[in-house]
Amino acid sequence: MTAWFVVGTDTGVGKTLAATALLHRLRTRHARVAGMKPIAAGAEQQADGRWTNADVLALQAAASVRAPDALVNPYLLKTPASPHIAARHDGITIEIERIVSAFQQLRAQADAVIVEGAGGLLVPLDDEHDGGDLAVALGLPVILVVGLRLGCLNHALLTAQAIRQRGLPLAGWVANRIDPGMPEVDANLSWLAHRLATPCLGEIPHLPAPDAREAARFLRLPDEPIA
């Protein structure tokens, strides 16, 4: 079973776009592909009373496995805030063991799984645990999404350092052009390639609207050879 944990240098850097694009890449090689968003903060109530999250829906649309919502998204929090705050508003406690159990059940139904983290790697889950603890509990190699904008070099290096300090393998990184006006993009990419010392899995251009199928054209999987 092939699986990776997708994290970002920050919130709003295109983790969901990268994760769904990777799912489309996986679907060219595997019949059963699943996406997972363990914690989604920020939900909208539909006309039928259900609460949904756009990132979760995008992952479900990109997957080929129709898994139960409880496995794809164990924690759907209503408030668009840090998970520990959103969970407090909902009167619940995020339990890492519950997420690990859901992942294990999901991977039993799939040949490949992409797990998307919430916010940055060290986003708090409660007063004692953060997203890094979840990544360690899942034990998956990590793919880092770098949102190309001013400040991304520092954020990328700090996140990569935190990943390695937790003993997690950094399988590769994805560059996402979230700021089309960012100066010196090529110089920044060259520096990142040198300092991150792990394969770049592709560069997603600035897209007028997020399009997972389009973004997939610019990416490769960590175990795919460089074209």
Annotated catalytic sites, by residue?
Answer: 37
Say if residues 68 and 101 touch (Cβ distance below 8 Å).
Answer: no
Say if residues 18 and 116 touch (Cβ distance below 8 Å).
Answer: no
**Beta carbons within 8 Å of 93's beta carbon, 6+ residues apart:** 87, 126
Q: Cα dihedral sign for 128, 78, 15, 30?
A: positive
Amino acid at residue number 3: A
Say if residues 78 and 89 touch (Cβ distance below 8 Å).
Answer: yes
Task: Kindly state the tokens that stand for 27.
Answer: 């679907």
